[in-house]
Each structure stands twice: as C-alpha cells, then as structure tokens.
Amino acid sequence: MKTLISAVVCAAALVSAPAFASKDLATAKGCLACHSQGADMKIGPGYQAVAKKYAGQKDAEAKVAAFIKAGTPAGTKPSWGGPMPMPAQPGLSDADAKTLAAWVLAGAK
C-alpha cells in the first residue's frame, strides 16, 4: 500500500512539474515584473487575459511564442493599452519561448 501511495504522489509531482517550471522560467526571465498570472493589467496584460484572447486559435502557441521573442514591433502602440511596448527577448531560446507561451495559454497555472 505504501508503494502505491508513493507512486501516486510521484506521478502527481511529475504531472504538475511543468507548471512550476514555467512559473520559475517566467520569474527568471523577468516576465512577472510586468505581467500578472491573473487577468489584471500591470505594465502588460495578465496571463489569464492573454489566454482568453487566444482561446480556440489553432496557432496561438506559435503566435505568442513569436511575440515573446519579437516584442511589440517598433513604432507601434502597445496592443493591450499598457504604458509601454513589450521589449524583444532575442536571447530567449525558441524552446523557452514555446514553454512560456504554452504556460500562459494554459492560464499561467
């Protein structure tokens, strides 16, 4: 019985690990300085608001990952009405951008 309980606990930890890893990644990359995990606007939109905007779009993950890396195009207004455009993150790997995009689109939970 102890073995079964241990196996269930380990499986649950593994399933939830990507969410924690993504929050850690967002923190490490400075994303949470401007964005909240909720729907409220800080400097940029909250991640739940982003998830709602892109809900049901087939290519949402690719769009959000590309936007994370490219930022707001030069000379354009911030698309969410925030006080400043999102800076580009050219040093962010494609894999990290995709991980962050998937986490954001899942509601940053």
Helix then strand count (H, E) for the chain reads: 4, 0
Q: What is the 3-state secondary structure (H, E, C) of 72-86?
A: CCCCCCCCCCCCCCC
- Indicate the pTM of the whole model: 0.77
pLDDT in tens, 19-47: 457 999 999 999 999 999 998 999 999 99
pLDDT band for 3, please (50, 70, 90 cuts).
very low
Sequence-distant (6+) residues with CB within 8 A of 90 are 69
pLDDT in tens, 7-19: 333 333 333 344 4
Identify whether the C-beta of residue 69 lies closer than 8 Å to the C-beta of residue 59: no
